[in-house]
Amino acid sequence: MATSELFTLIDGDCVTSLRATIDGDALRIAPDVMRDATGWELKPEGLCQGDLCIPVRDRVALADARGVDLAAFARAQGRPLALDIAERAAALGTSAAERSARLATLEAPDFTLPDLHGRRHTLSAHRGKKALLIVYASW
Amino acid sequence: MWQAMYQELGSHGFVPITVALDKDPEDVRPYIERASPTHPSLIDTQHVVAELYHVINVPTMIWIDEQGRIVRPHDSQFGTDTFTAFHGKHSAPYLDALRAWVREGKGVLDPATVRGHQIQPTPETQLARAHRALAWWLHQQGRVEAAERHFLRAGELAPKDWTIRRGSMPIRGINPMGLEFFELAKEGVPLYPMEELPVEGGTSRKMS
């Protein structure tokens, strides 16, 4: 029996609590909730975010009167989805195609992270210098 | 020791940027405070940089030029010889190569070589990172058992990613230098393709 529940969607830095319908192992979200949470909506042209539209092969699997199926939504974009219905939470990641393509440009992806004092630093602020990025850990 | 390199080479337009893939700033506070860096020394609890750059182990070094382009990709190199007996690498040739890059622009790899030596994310490794992100969130919520399931799933999907398999050990209450780590190490240390381009050796220069 389908139930309406609060669900947590993690997408990078963005953690959104949204209302979803849980129906067995399917998670469905109302189209306007999907749009507000992710910026994506299903239009005649396909699955769109602003001016970008992805053609959708199986519109019925993606969305019907019950809402947008989150797993089908992720598949339509080639994005990984770690879904845990029991925990009412999911994490949506970046597609391998997008990550690979971006790395292949050889442009160092920009990021902003805090130091020990909580001050935030952005990589691109150091343009004009040679930067050595050292990724390490205490483990 | 990167602070020493920064003091030596900073006036030549060089900046080291350290990024710690630790679960808590407190885990690296002793190291950072001892180093007293004036260069950016950042904490990445959510593994943002690990995902953006497809980092699979630490330490990983990447050279980024003045235009923000990667000119030498992921290299497992060390700034000191503290663990040379374990991994066999000496820091001096790498530090000399770094000096030659900063001072003379040497050692920059052409784009085809850089691309040829990048490891490629796959749908499995990206799904692993999504499971890790979910595991981390669940852990923050105190849902330890659920977090454990997703850390393990992440490790199954990306067995060669030690930012997941070893990096999650402290979060899961496992000693990352202990028995579980030695078992993991038996599978072989994950390597980057840069292993096949050894750093040109040379006599170690005294710091000026």
pLDDT in tens, B110-131: 999 999 999 999 999 999 999 9
Would residue A73 count as lying in a domain?
yes
Same domain, B45 and B148: no
**Nearest by CB to A106, which of B21, B54, B115?**
B115
Which residue in B79, B102, B130 is closest to A130 by CB distance?
B102
Any domain includes A22: yes
Give the CA angle between residues A60, A67, A28 to the nearest 5°.
105
Residue B150 forms part of a structural domain? yes
Residue B203 in this model has a pLDDT that exceeds 50: no
Chain Cα centroid distance, residue B137: 22
Higher pLDDT, B32 or B201: B32
Segment B65-94 mean pLDDT: 89
Nearest to B137 among A89, A127, A135 (CB): A89
Does residue A36 lie in a domain region?
yes
Q: Residue range B92-121: average pLDDT?
A: 94
With a pLDDT cut of 70, the percent of chain B lying above it is 96
- pLDDT value of position A91: 98
- The complex's ipTM? 0.95
Residue A57, domain extent = 3-97
Residues in chain A: 139
Contact A93 B129 (CB under 8 A): yes
Looking at the structure of chain B, the number of domains it has is 2
Q: Is B146 on the interface with A (CB under 8 A)?
A: yes
Radius of gyration of chain A (CA): 18
- Token pair listed for A32: 């306007």
Q: Which tokens belong to B191?
A: 């390597």
Residue A87 has pLDDT above 50, yes or no: yes
Report chain A residues whose CB lies below 8 A from the CB of B55.
135
Higher pLDDT, A122 or B80: A122
CB contact under 8 A, A136 and B21: yes
What is the nearest CA distance from A32 to chain B, expressed in angstroms? Answer: 24
List Cβ neighbours of A59 (8 Å cut-off, separation of 6 or more). A42
Q: What is the pTM of this model?
A: 0.94
**Which range of residues forms the domain containing residue B153?**
123-185
| DSSP 8-state assignment for residue B20 | E
Query: In this structure, are B31 and B90 located in the same domain?
Result: yes
Work out how many domains chain A is built from and give that number: 1
Is the pLDDT assigned to residue A128 strictly greater than 50?
yes
Interchain CB distance below 8 Å, B176 and A139: yes
Q: Residues B57, B16: one domain?
A: yes
B100 and B39 part of one domain: yes
Q: Does residue B131 share a domain with residue B85?
A: no
Which residues make Cβ contacts (< 8 Å) with residue A13, sequence separation at least 6?
Answer: B46, B48
